[in-house]
């Protein structure tokens, strides 16, 4: 049996068909990135804000929060955003059509429910709201 080529494995993505989803996902990723930005010590070139590719989507990897850590995972297979806390706490948010404001509120509510208070600047660009 002949191995499949990448063209046979991955379907074509026509940008015009999903540009609105792309724009929304970009904003959702910025929200999660800013959460990581304000909770993690600054590293040159914003390397501390990187989202890492997983077999199911993207992850922040562990983020410090006082004596705890937490991780935020975009699971694009189950269409869920998962927030996992080092004490075993977990919240899951459905990745469904919704406004950026609604997604922001759902994420911040989930963090509060896990006793992970985080304040982000919802206007500033990622590189401008770091601590001195």
| pTM (2 d.p.) | 0.83
> What's the pLDDT score for residue 71?
97
Phi and psi for 115 in degrees, rounded to 5?
A: 60, 40
Confidence at 38, pLDDT banded by 50, 70, 90: very high
Q: Would you say how long the chain is, in residues? A: 132
pLDDT at 48: 79
Q: Look at residue 79 in the predicted model and tell me its pLDDT.
A: 97
Task: Please report, for residues 22, 30, 71, 104, 110, the alpha-carbon distance to residue 92 in angstroms, rounded to integers and kept in the order given.
Answer: 21, 18, 12, 13, 8
Q: Tell me how far apart the alpha carbons of residues 102 and 54 are, in angstroms, rounded to a whole number.
A: 25
- Model confidence at 108, pLDDT cuts 50, 70, 90, reads very high
């Amino acid at each position: 049996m002949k191995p499949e080529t990448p063209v046979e494995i991955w379907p074509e993505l026509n940008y015009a068909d999903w540009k609105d989803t792309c724009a929304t996902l970009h904003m959702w990723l910025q929200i999660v990135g800013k959460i990581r930005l304000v909770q993690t010590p600054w590293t040159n070139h914003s390397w501390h804000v990187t989202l890492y590719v997983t077999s199911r989507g993207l992850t922040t990897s562990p983020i410090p929060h006082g004596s705890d850590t937490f991780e935020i995972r975009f699971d694009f297979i189950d269409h869920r955003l998962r927030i996992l806390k080092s004490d075993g706490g977990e919240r899951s948010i459905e990745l469904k059509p919704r406004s950026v404001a609604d997604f922001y509120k759902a994420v911040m509510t989930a963090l509060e429910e896990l006793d992970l208070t985080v304040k982000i600047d919802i206007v500033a660009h990622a590189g401008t709201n770091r601590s001195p």
